[in-house]
């Protein structure tokens, strides 16, 4: 929940795009989800209510944070947004709703506290990036009648949301402005996280693929299996694998004699990888059904996993060390804000007893 932010405009554009979508203006605009940074994600809580119509009734309060109210409407909007992001329109796995609700509550609380912190630090989000973002929408929707008609009404809420987003980003940037790690710290990180600097095992394979369309009738699949069996027997008797691949394989690698090159663990389906793990180098394996047809594999080489030397990965190790320190600083900062906050749940029980509303 506490990863880095994207660039300012990426974060701002995503939320503004969602806000505009409520008025049918987003069109084909790619709303890339900037899911990095607790402050950024915390602010999702208020997106759906920026352009909402005013209501006469006094809003129900979900919680207060240092006296600042979070409404039930804000909570429900944030909850619906979280469901969309996590499950789209699919079935929600049983038992996962409590975790989603807790995550949403955390986001909402953190958002209030981070905005307080921005104010305490005198951080103003109204800078050139906000003006540039609005100018970008003006340019993008210049031919939109809806935008032209609604712009003046929409602009105050849109600008407020963009300013808020930028302030949250600036707070996170300030907290993550930690000193560069020393060489000793980088080395210690390398020694403690060797798995991050280890090249996985890789294998070099060759294949003869007798192609079969997945939707083909079983008779065609059976015919391919029989052809593969006969070819396998010829290979065992000494037929040249590369020549057979050039003649019979339907795969793109046929021109290279069936050579697939080096494949890292995880690049192949697990069931196939388990078979390959049992192969002997140079041996021709029995035919096996794959998605594209029937395949005959030969293992050419197996290269074991290898830890890269520190001198070869020092720049990467330094980057990861710094990132880890920034993440730790951000996590501790958020935990500290929450620990000192006066958080009072007002309407929690009633809200959480409601069934989930479909996004």
Instruction: Note the pLDDT tens digit of each residue in 299-357.
Output: 999 999 999 999 999 999 999 999 999 999 999 999 999 999 999 998 765 455 555 54
Is the pLDDT higher at 358 or at 155? 155
Domain assignment present for 115:
yes
The whole-number pLDDT of residue 353 equals 52
The whole-number pLDDT of residue 204 equals 94
Whether residues 15 and 156 share a domain: the answer is yes
The whole-number pLDDT of residue 358 equals 45
Whether residues 158 and 224 share a domain: the answer is no
Supply the mean pLDDT for the chain. Answer: 83
* Least confident among 47-51, 63-67, 142-146: 47-51
Whether residues 212 and 81 share a domain: the answer is no
DSSP string, 255-322: GGTTEEEEEETTSS-HHHHHHHHTPPTTPBPPPEEETTEEEEEEEEEEE--EEPPHHHHHHHHHHHHH
Total domains in the chain come to 3
Where is 78: in which H helix or E strand? helix 72-87
Binned at pLDDT 50, 70 and 90, residue 40 comes out as: very low
The whole-number pLDDT of residue 48 equals 39
The residue range of the domain holding 316 is 183-196+308-322
Whether residues 285 and 315 share a domain: the answer is no
Rounded Cα–Cα distance for residues 250 and 243 (Å) = 13
Domain assignment present for 3:
no
The token duo for 353 is 């007893």
Whether residues 127 and 40 share a domain: the answer is yes
Rounded Cα–Cα distance for residues 262 and 166 (Å) = 45
The model carries a pTM of 0.67
Q: In this structure, are residues 297 and 268 in contact, taking their beta carbons and an 8 Å threshold?
A: no
Decide if pLDDT at 52 tops 50.
Answer: no
Whether residues 69 and 155 share a domain: the answer is yes
Rounded Cα–Cα distance for residues 21 and 318 (Å) = 41
The whole-number pLDDT of residue 56 equals 52
Neighbours of 245 (CB within 10 A): 23
Decide if pLDDT at 19 tops 70.
Answer: no
CATH code for position 241: 3.10.50.40
Whether residues 48 and 13 share a domain: the answer is yes
pLDDT digits (tens, 9 = 90+) for 161-182: 999 999 999 999 999 999 999 9
Where is 26: in which H helix or E strand? none
Percentage, residues of the chain above pLDDT 90: 60
Is the pLDDT higher at 15 or at 63? 63
Rounded Cα–Cα distance for residues 1 and 23 (Å) = 30
Is the pLDDT higher at 119 or at 46? 119
pLDDT digits (tens, 9 = 90+) for 248-284: 999 889 999 999 999 988 888 888 888 888 888 998 9
Percentage, residues of the chain above pLDDT 70: 81
Domain assignment present for 161:
yes
For the chain, percent helix, then strand, then coil, each to nearest 5?
55, 15, 30
Domain assignment present for 158:
yes
Whether residues 187 and 245 share a domain: the answer is no
Whether residues 16 and 36 share a domain: the answer is yes
Where is 184: in which H helix or E strand? helix 183-192
The token duo for 99 is 């975790």
Rounded Cα–Cα distance for residues 216 and 202 (Å) = 33
Whether residues 32 and 135 share a domain: the answer is yes
Decide if pLDDT at 41 tops 80.
Answer: no
Whether residues 173 and 282 share a domain: the answer is no
């Amino acid at each position: 929940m506490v990863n880095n932010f994207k660039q300012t405009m990426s974060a701002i554009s995503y939320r503004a795009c969602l806000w505009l979508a409520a008025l049918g203006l987003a069109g084909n605009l790619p709303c890339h989800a900037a899911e990095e940074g607790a402050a950024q994600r915390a602010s999702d809580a208020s997106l759906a209510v920026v352009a909402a119509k005013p209501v006469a009734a006094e809003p129900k309060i979900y919680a207060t944070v240092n006296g600042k109210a979070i409404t039930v409407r804000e909570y429900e909007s944030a909850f619906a947004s979280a469901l969309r992001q996590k499950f789209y329109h699919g079935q929600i796995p049983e038992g996962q709703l409590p975790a989603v609700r807790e995550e949403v509550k955390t986001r909402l609380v953190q958002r209030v506290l981070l905005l307080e912190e921005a104010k305490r630090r005198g951080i103003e989000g109204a800078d050139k990036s906000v003006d540039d973002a609005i100018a970008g929408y003006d340019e993008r929707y210049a031919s939109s009648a809806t935008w032209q008609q609604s712009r003046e009404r929409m602009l105050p809420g849109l600008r407020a949301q963009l300013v808020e987003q930028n302030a949250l980003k600036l707070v996170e940037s300030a907290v993550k402005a930690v000193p560069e790690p020393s060489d000793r710290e980088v080395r210690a990180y390398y020694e403690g996280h060797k798995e991050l600097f280890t090249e996985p095992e890789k294998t070099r394979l060759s294949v003869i693929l007798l192609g079969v369309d997945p939707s083909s009738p079983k008779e065609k699949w059976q015919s391919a299996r029989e052809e593969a069996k006969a070819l396998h027997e010829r290979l065992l008797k000494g037929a040249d694998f590369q020549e057979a691949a050039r003649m019979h394989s339907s795969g793109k690698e046929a021109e290279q004699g069936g050579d697939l090159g080096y494949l890292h663990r995880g690049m192949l389906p697990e069931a196939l990888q388990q078979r390959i793990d049992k192969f002997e180098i140079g041996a021709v394996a029995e035919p096996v059904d794959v998605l594209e047809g029937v395949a005959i594999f030969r293992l050419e080489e197996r290269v074991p996993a290898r830890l890269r030397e520190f001198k070869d990965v020092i720049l990467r190790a330094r980057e990861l060390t710094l990132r880890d320190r920034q993440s730790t600083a951000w996590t501790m900062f958020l935990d500290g804000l929450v620990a000192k906050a006066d958080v009072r749940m007002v309407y929690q029980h009633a809200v959480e007893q409601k069934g989930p509303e479909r996004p």
